[in-house]
Structure formats: structure tokens, C-alpha cells
Amino acid sequence: MTRPAFFARGDNQTRVFGLSPATRARRFASKSGLTPVEAIADGPVIVADLDFAWDPAWLRHIAAQPGRAVTSGGRAVLAHCRDRAEAEALVATGTLPAGETIRIEDGGSIYNEQLRKREAPYLLPLAPGTVDAIERASYDGAYKGVTDILTLYLWRRPAFYLTRWAAAAGMTPNMVTAIGAVGCVLAFWLFWIGEYWWGIAAGFVFMVLDTVDGKLARCTGTSSKWGNAADHGIDLVHPPFWWWAWGIGLTAYRTPLDPLWMWGSLAAIVAGYVVQRLIEGVYLGAFKLDMHTWRPIDSRFRLITARRNPNMVILVVALLAGRPDIGLVAVAAWTVLSCLFHVVRLLQALATRARGQAITSWMA
């Protein structure tokens, strides 16, 4: 199927996250693989009404459905016109002739595979009085539906205000990632010398900014391959180094572990971390599916599985009890248990496919 062009009609100047509606809409179009044009030409084209703000999920949804439009109050907000005549008629009348419509008023939801969630994407009139609601809806729409408990609940609101502030200040997601990386390295050093509470503070800053950079990229249409690689690269590499530094710092904190327990715990943490990452790769390769989205139990377990944020909760609780050494052992035990859970789920998925059943997300 020929990819449609993208044409934004209207002259709205109300800014969202510091961006004009036209700039933001064209960025979303480009990120969706569409080519923004200044005038309607021959061929299929998606026409967007700039008097509305909408989730990019709607754009991806409509891009695959020629002859359909998303409407609000009978007005076509996003319409996939099959040819020039249809697009010109829509611009003149505000409706898609002879096309099918998806009425926002009817509700409903679509599956956002990219963010691992089923959602009713936002589509709202764009005016000065609706900017706050649009920015909040845009931020919530950019949030992954399946992630850890801290990211999903604890700093969801604070990260929104930081995202809004960063956009207003003209910061790019890569700038936020770079600041967060400094906090990540600082946390490593502070753990290493046994300054655990300061290390947790630095790590907390990094973890919050690790949420902000992605949301800023999605809300402003400024994601990039380099930024994505840097963000995910840091996420992938740093956790084992944090746990290693935590173990080394136990001596300075005067709660050293016996070397056998110390290095055994670190070996279990690193091995379990690597195995879990490998299982994720197997899921993606074998089933084209994120392993946390197969069944509801997988999504719920993602809240607490032995990744960086849940592990930090364990370490903070242990530190509050004055026993960071036990915290490291507890992280090792939880990593092994989490790894076993994912191994079992992988074997169950393989067995299910062997019986001829498709492996698909419960949210699809």
C-alpha cells in the first residue's frame, strides 16, 4: 500500500509543550513514516485539522485505513483521503465524502503495541483553555502501560511537571539523558564509597530523568535513533555496575559480607539479569512479542520483577534497617526467583505454540 502524504490544515497558534500545532503535527507525521506536504497533491493524503490535538496513535491507526476518518462533533479531525479530489472535498466541507468514520464520542480503544497498552487515545479541541488537559493527556498517552511499580505510580506526576518544564525551557531529550547519565555515574561512585543515602538520591534523580527523556521525546515528536540508543544503552549497562558498587561499599559502611556471599550474590544478580534479557530477546525473535504482554500475569509481574527500580526498593528497605549487606543478598535471591518465573513462562509459551496456538498479547 502506498504511504499517504500528510497535510495539516488550519492556522491555530495555541502551543502545546512549547510547539505550534503545525510543527507538532508534522513531527508526529514524520515519526510515523509520513511525508508532510505544504499543499495537497495527487495520491493518498492524511488531512489533519489543526483545531484539534490528538495522540500519534490515531495517526498510525488511520494511516493503515484508506477512506476512514476520526471525527469529533461530525468534523473530520484526521482523515485518510484516497486521492486528491477526496482531500480537496474534505478541506472544503470538513467531512470525508463516502468514507467511514470513527466517532470519538463513541469511545472505544485501540492496542498500542509500541507502548504495550490498550488505550483510548486522546483527541481534544485545541484552544488556550484546553492546553493543560492536552498536555496531561499527551504525557499519559506517552506512558508505557506495562512497566515497574515506581515508574508507573511513584514518580509519574513529578515527571510530568519536569517534562513540561523541560519542553518550555527548550531542552531536548538528549540533554535530559545526558544530565541523567551524570546522576547514574555519581550514584555508582557514592555506592562504591559506602555513601548509600547520597547514592540513592543521585540514583533517584537519574531514574526520574530516565522517565522524563522518553516522555519529552514522545510529547514533542523529537525522538531519534541516537537518543533511543543512548537512553536504552545506559539502561541496559548500568544496573550490574550499581550492584557491584553497592557490594564494594559495604566495607566502608562497616557491614561487609563474607567474600563467598558477596561474590556469590553478585554472580547471581549478573547471571539472572543477563538471562532475563536473553529471554526478552527470545520472545521478540520467536513470537514478535514483548514477554511482559503475553498474559495479564506477565504484565502484573513486570511491576515487581528484578529490574533496577524494584531492586532499589529492596536495597532502600534494607538500608532503613541498617543492613545494606542483607539487601544485596535479598536482591540476588529475588533476581533468581524472577529469572525462574520468566524461564517457566518462556517454556509455557513455547509449549503453547507447539500445540498450534498463536502467541499474542492479551491486550491486542
Tens-place pLDDT, residues 78-122: 999 999 999 999 988 888 776 778 888 887 677 777 766 677 889
Distance separating alpha carbons of residues 203 and 200, to the nearest angstrom? 5
The pLDDT assigned to 224 comes to 81
Tens-place pLDDT, residues 140-175: 988 888 899 999 999 999 999 999 999 999 999 999
CA angle 129, 219, 180 (to 5 degrees): 125
3 state DSSP class of 137: helix
The pLDDT assigned to 108 comes to 67
Query: Is the pLDDT confidence value at 46 over 90?
Result: yes
Distance separating alpha carbons of residues 282 and 359, to the nearest angstrom? 13
CB distance 6 to 26 below 8 Å: yes
Structurally, how many domains does the chain consist of?
2
Query: Is the pLDDT confidence value at 1 over 70?
Result: no
Q: Which one of 64, 91, 124 terminates a domain?
A: 124
Q: What is the mean pLDDT of residues 130-138?
A: 96
0.85 exceeded by pTM: yes
Question: Same structural domain for residues 150 and 119?
Answer: no
Residues 6+ apart with CB under 8 A from 13: 20, 21
The pLDDT assigned to 8 comes to 95
Question: Same structural domain for residues 119 and 158?
Answer: no
CATH number of the domain bearing residue 65: 3.90.550
Query: Is the pLDDT confidence value at 323 over 90?
Result: yes
CATH number of the domain bearing residue 348: 1.20.120.1760
Q: Which one of 124, 152, 169 terminates a domain?
A: 124
363 in any annotated domain = no
Q: What is the mean pLDDT of residues 270-285?
A: 94
360 in any annotated domain = no
Domain of 318 in residue numbering reads as: 142-354
In the chain, which residue ranges form alpha helices assigned H by DSSP? 21-31, 56-63, 84-93, 131-141, 149, 156-168, 173-192, 196-220, 225-252, 259-287, 296-302, 308-320, 324-354
Tens-place pLDDT, residues 185-216: 999 999 999 999 999 999 999 999 999 999 99
3 state DSSP class of 110: strand
Looking at the chain, the whole-number percentage of residues with pLDDT higher than 90 is: 81
